[in-house]
Amino acid sequence: MKKIIMLSLCLLSPTLYAKEITVKVNGMVCSMCAQGIQKKFSKISEVKDIKVDLDTKVVSIVTKDDKDLKDSKIKEIITEAGYNVATIERK
């Protein structure tokens, strides 16, 4: 019975799973731009994986299983890097 309860709690709690965040960024024009953003996010403790697609101007962030990254922090990092956030979507 305890196993069923624990499994139910795990399945019902969305904070236990990694979250994918997709950020559309304005201003990225070269591979150095993409590398700079990737480097900044890879230093953040909540980030499990980061991919930057220069062609589509999209930054894909996967957070660690029990962590979250606030939109304000994402905007701050990208703005400090010299770019603008167009949209932030969470999956």
In tens, the pLDDT along 4-53 reads 544 444 544 444 456 999 999 999 999 998 999 999 999 999 999 999 99
Instruction: Please give the model's pTM, rounded to 2 decimal places.
Output: 0.78
Q: Which pLDDT belongs to residue 7?
A: 45
The dotted CATH code for 15-90 is 3.30.70.100
pLDDT band, residue 1 (cuts 50/70/90): low
> What are the domain boundaries of the chain?
15-90
**Alpha helices (H) along 43-83:** 71-80
User: How large is the average pLDDT for residues 56-66?
Assistant: 94
In which band, very low, low, confident or very high, does the pLDDT at 91 lie, cut at 50, 70 and 90?
A: confident
Q: How many CA atoms lie within 13 A of 67 on its CB side?
A: 12
